[in-house]
Chain A
């Protein structure tokens, strides 16, 4: 089929109602959160890469990027990155389980959605507490 025909058909096809109309349920929210944490980690890795480069070069380069790792904003950036890693990681575990046909019933997927949300926060807190105690 020619491209123009495909385009015309695509334009006539109704769009999915999408987020504005669906009832917000936890499994959907966790799917959205998986994508947001993924995109957030992309940005977070960019920031941390600059931070590490600044630390490697030292001097003025470090003072230019130190806001990424210290102070209020820096602590927030680092904490958000750590939380995003754990949340996205648990979201991935959820997908790995689903790939194997496990936890796909209503109860199972609700449990995994709750586990992702609570687990991500809990792991972040645990690491934060252990790290604070260790230092």
Chain B
């Protein structure tokens, strides 16, 4: 159930003490929901990511080329970067105080996180997709 308030900034008002109509609660819920998916995906991915270290090219391809690691790493990259984007938004909002710079940083983060996810997906598909 959602409760709408009449206040834009929502700090105080008659009968509405300290409520907010900003995006804090959905944000927190979003981070938690994605983290439930990321916990198993992350633990499994850590296993296969560690397996990449020090391997020659063929070894790396063989590791990523198997279907289960490929699918898990794929999902980890996509859900992870969605989660990471929101997390980085938090960091930017906390530390970048200049309004214009903050807006630019948020946009840069949006596109950087999408680019990382896209490269991640493309790379795994190139290695693992059936030829």
Chain A contacts to B: CB under 8 angstroms: 1, 35, 38-39, 41-42, 45-46, 48-53, 55-58, 62, 66, 69-71, 74-75, 78-79, 81-82, 85-86, 88-89, 92-93, 95-96, 99, 123-124, 127-128, 131, 135
Overall SS of chain B's interface: helix
- Indicate if the CB atoms of B127 and A55 lie closer than 8 Å: yes
Question: How many residue pairs, one in A and one in B, have C-beta atoms under 8 Å apart?
Answer: 118
Count how many chain B residues have C-beta atoms less than 8 Å from C-beta atoms of the other chain.
39
- Indicate if the CB atoms of A78 and B81 lie closer than 8 Å: no
Extra inter-chain contacts (6) besides given A39-B88, A96-B36, CB under 8 Å: A53-B119, A70-B53, A82-B46, A82-B49, A89-B43, A93-B39
- Indicate if the CB atoms of B32 and A75 lie closer than 8 Å: no
- Indicate if the CB atoms of B126 and A56 lie closer than 8 Å: yes
Q: Does B108 contact A (CB under 8 A)?
A: no
Q: Tell me which residues across on chain A come within 8 A of B42, comparing CB atoms.
A: 85-86, 88-89
Chain B contacts to A: CB under 8 angstroms: 9, 32, 35-36, 38-39, 42-43, 45-47, 49-55, 57, 60-61, 64, 77, 80-81, 84, 87-88, 91, 112-113, 116, 119-120, 122-124, 126-127
Most buried by B among A50, A81, A82: A82
Cα–Cα distance between A71 and B64 once the two chains are bound (Å): 19
Q: Tell me which residues across on chain A come within 8 A of B119, comparing CB atoms.
A: 49-50, 52-53
Q: A49-B119, A81-B49, A95-B32 are in contact. Are A55 and B61 (CB under 8 A)?
A: yes
